[in-house]
Amino acid sequence: MPGSKVVGVVASSAGGVEELRTGLVEPLLEAGHRVAVTLTPTAARWLDHLGETTKLAEVTGLPVRSEARLLGSSRPHPQVDVYAVAPATANLVAKLALGIADNQALTVLCEGVAGTPMVVFPRVNAAHARHPAWASHLATLRSVGVELVYGEDVWPLSEPRSSGPSRPLPWTEIQRRVEHLLG
Ligand SMILES: Cc1cc2nc3c(=O)[nH]c(=O)nc-3n(C[C@H](O)[C@H](O)[C@H](O)COP(=O)(O)O)c2cc1C
């Protein structure tokens, strides 16, 4: 669609990633945006197994990326206007804050973090948040303007393996923040 904005959706291997298409990608497309999806290697394995990577490529009209392109080949995704990183594992948040670009998802995010608007939803539990480096990772990301969908109001932290009904991810709030950054 000419003139439409490009949302780079990046997802990692956290619970709820199986809802990525219906929860975030299709609503963004319905709002008139182009969507380019990149997955961490484990998220790609999970979504491949569910047949979701094929569906994501079909609905977006772009390849779903999880590997580096070959030397000399052209970039398969257009230039991104805003990134929506959801769900973000504790692992992805930590590596992004430290600048570790050891897969395609982190490569684009580490390049974009201080220059392209970014919304990140850390899909973490109370144990992840007790890690001694966690607060500094969040502070690092906030210091360059990353919008964190984080806190008691959007994602109260539960203890790992605590029983209880599974909660939907805050897809509507993530999209609202993306729209806000797009202006
Ligand atoms: C079924 C399952 C669910 C998981 N859910 C989460 C989660 O919600 N949040 C999280 O931070 N890690 C979660 N993990 C752990 C991550 O998948 C693991 O740390 C992985 O190495 C992260 O890799 P990635 O960040 O490259 O996707 C889960 C693992 C499994 C097997």
Residue extents of the structural domains in the chain = 6-66+79-159+168-182
Closest C-alpha among 14, 158, 167, 178 to residue 92: 14
pLDDT category of residue 161 using cuts at 50, 70 and 90:
confident
Domain 6-66+79-159+168-182 CATH assignment equals 3.40.1280.10: no
Q: Report if pTM > 0.75.
A: yes
What residues does ligand 1 touch, defined as CB less than 6 Å away?
A: 12-15, 40, 42-43, 89-92, 123-124, 128
pLDDT category of residue 179 using cuts at 50, 70 and 90:
very high
Is pLDDT of 165 > 80? no
Angle at 154 between CA 97 and CA 127, to 5 degrees: 55
pLDDT of residue 163: 67
Can you tell me the mean pLDDT for 87-96?
A: 98
Distance 112 CA to ligand 1 centre (A): 23
Can you tell me the mean pLDDT for 118-131?
A: 98
> Which residue's CA is the closest to the ligand 1 atom numbered 10?
89
β-pair type (82-88, 147-148): unpaired
Q: What is 28-83 written as a DSSP string? A: HHHTT-EEEEEE-HHHHHHHHHTTHHHHHHHHHSSPPB-SPPPTTPPPSSPPPSEE
**How many C-beta neighbours within 10 Å does residue 110 have?**
17
Distance 26 CA to ligand 1 centre (A): 23
pLDDT of residue 162: 84
116, 182 Cβ separation under 8 angstroms: no
pLDDT category of residue 1 using cuts at 50, 70 and 90:
low
Query: Residue 118 and residue 139: Cα distance in Å, rounded?
Result: 14
78, 35 Cβ separation under 8 angstroms: no
Q: Which atom of ligand 1 sits closest to the CA of residue 13?
A: 27
Q: Which atom of ligand 1 sits closest to the CA of residue 90?
A: 11
Q: Which residues contact 77 (CB under 8 A, 6 or more apart)?
A: 8, 36, 38, 62, 63, 65
- The token pair at 103 is 């897969």
Distance 127 CA to ligand 1 centre (A): 13
> Which residue's CA is the closest to the ligand 1 atom numbered 17?
13
Q: Which residues contact 79 (CB under 8 A, 6 or more apart)?
A: 6
Closest C-alpha among 56, 50, 55, 18 to residue 38: 56
Q: At what angle do helices 90-98 and 134-143 cross, to 10 degrees?
A: 60
Distance 75 CA to ligand 1 centre (A): 28
